[in-house]
Amino acid sequence: MKSNELREKYLAFFETKGCTRRPSDVLVPRWDPSVLFTPAGMNQFKDHFLGRCKLEFTRATTCQKCLRTGDIDNVGRTAYHHTFFEMLGNFSFGDYFKRDAIHWAWEFLTDKKWLALDPNRISATVYLDDDEAAGIWLNEIKLPPERLQRLGEDENFWPANAPSQGPDGVCGPCSEIYYQTEFGSVEIWNLVFTQFNRVGDPPHNLRPLPSRNIDTGMGLERTAAVLQGVDTNFHIDILRPLVEASGEVCHVRYEPESETGRRLRRIADHVRACTFAIHENVIPGPNKEKYVIKRLLRRAVLDGHQMGMREPFLHKLVARWPN
C-alpha cells in the first residue's frame, strides 16, 4: 500500500465513525507561543480539549505535518526517527472514549477492507493500573495475555512521567500498539486517554477532567514501512527516491549500512523538513524556529561536505521530490 493510499484510507475510515475530517494545521503555529513547530496532531485542538471554544464537532480526524528535533542525533541512524513526519490522528472531545478508540484501532488495522494486517502479529501496552483499557484488550478484542504488557508512567502515560514529574495540565494514560515485522517490533499507534488534569505534586494530583477525551497518533511513515515490508521508514515509496536522489546529487552510491548511507538519509530528512518550513516563510536565521531551520541546513551541508561536496547542492533535491 502506497503512503498516499494509507493516508486517505485512515481519514476515510474515521469519517465512517462520525469524525470530521480536518486539514493539517500549519507547521509553525503562530497562535501558540508554547511551541516553535507543530509537534503532534492534537496541537490544533488544544482549546477543544480545554473547553475554551465552542465545539462545532466532537470527533475529528487529521493527517498533521509535524516537526520535532528532540531526537535529531538519531535521524539517519535508526529506522524510524525523523525531524519532519506526518501524524495520522483521531480525536474525541468529550465524546467516545477507550472502548471505541481501541475497537476502531483494531478494526482499521485488521479488517480486510482497510489495512488487513495479521492480528497474530499485533501486541499492545497499557498503563500499569489501567484495568479498563486492559479489560477491553483482553476480554473484548481477545488479545492473548502474553501480547499485552502493563508499563509505568515513563512508557504509558502522556506526557511521559506526568504524574510524578509534571508538567501540570491535561494528561492521561495511553495504550501503544505494536506490529511484529521480520525486522522487529514496531510501535505504530498510540492511543492517549486524556482524562486527568495534573495539579501539583503526588499522591493526589490527578483530578478527573469534566469530560474525557481521546488523542491518538499513528505515524504515517512507520505504518507505511510495515505495509510495504521494508526495514526502515527511509525506504518507503515517498522517501527512498529522495534518499537515492541525494546520492546522485552527491555523486555517491547509496549503501544503507554505511556511514555514507546514514549521511544520505539525514540529508533527505533535513531537506524535506526545511522545504516544508521555508514554504511557510521560516527563513534560516538566528532566533527561534529560524535557527532550527538554519541548524538543519548546516547539518545537511556538513554531511555533503564530508562526502566531497564543495558546491551548493541541496536546492537540486527539491526538484527531485517524489510524487
Q: How much is the pLDDT for 323?
A: 57
In a domain, 42, yes or no: yes
Instruction: Name the grid cell of 248.
Output: 546522485
Tell me: do 247 and 200 sit in the same domain: no
Tell me: do 296 and 210 sit in the same domain: no
Q: How much is the pLDDT for 210?
A: 82
Helix (H) or strand (E) holding 100: helix 98-110
Cβ atoms of 263 and 303 within 8 Å: the answer is yes
Q: Alpha carbon of 146 to those of 103, 118, 124, 129, 179: distances in Å? A: 19, 16, 10, 17, 14
Tell me: do 248 and 152 sit in the same domain: no
Tell me: do 141 and 206 sit in the same domain: yes
CATH of the domain at 137: 3.30.930.10
Tell me: do 200 and 100 sit in the same domain: yes
In a domain, 313, yes or no: yes
Q: How much is the pLDDT for 203?
A: 85
Tell me: do 246 and 114 sit in the same domain: no
Q: How much is the pLDDT for 211?
A: 87
Q: Using the 3D structure, point to which of 228, 263, 282 is the last residue of a domain.
A: 228
In a domain, 129, yes or no: yes
Q: Using the 3D structure, point to which of 207, 228, 249 is the last residue of a domain.
A: 228
Number of domains in the chain: 2
Q: Is 187 helix (H, G, I), strand (E, B) or coil?
A: strand
In a domain, 110, yes or no: yes
Tell me: do 199 and 307 sit in the same domain: no
Cβ atoms of 82 and 234 within 8 Å: the answer is no
Cβ atoms of 139 and 148 within 8 Å: the answer is no
Q: How much is the pLDDT for 51?
A: 78
Tell me: do 18 and 115 sit in the same domain: yes
**Cα dihedral across residues 201, 203, 205, 206: positive or negative:** positive
Mean pLDDT by 10 residues, the chain (323 residues): 98 98 95 91 87 89 96 94 97 97 98 98 97 98 98 95 90 97 97 92 88 96 98 97 96 97 98 96 96 97 97 92 65
Tell me: do 171 and 300 sit in the same domain: no
Q: How much is the pLDDT for 322?
A: 66
| Cell 505504530 sits on residue | 188
Q: Is 173 helix (H, G, I), strand (E, B) or coil?
A: strand
Distance from C-alpha of 224 to C-alpha of 219, rounded to nearest angstrom: 8
Tell me: do 137 and 254 sit in the same domain: no
| pTM summary value | 0.94
Distance from C-alpha of 225 to C-alpha of 41, rounded to nearest angstrom: 20
Q: How much is the pLDDT for 320?
A: 76
In a domain, 233, yes or no: no
Domain extent, residue 247, equals 239-318
In a domain, 234, yes or no: no
In a domain, 323, yes or no: no
Q: Using the 3D structure, point to which of 205, 228, 251 is the last residue of a domain.
A: 228
Tell me: do 63 and 31 sit in the same domain: yes
Tell me: do 11 and 105 sit in the same domain: yes
Q: Which amino acid is at 220?
A: L
In a domain, 47, yes or no: yes
Q: 179: which strand partners? A: 122, 186
Strands 59-67, 20-21: pairing is parallel
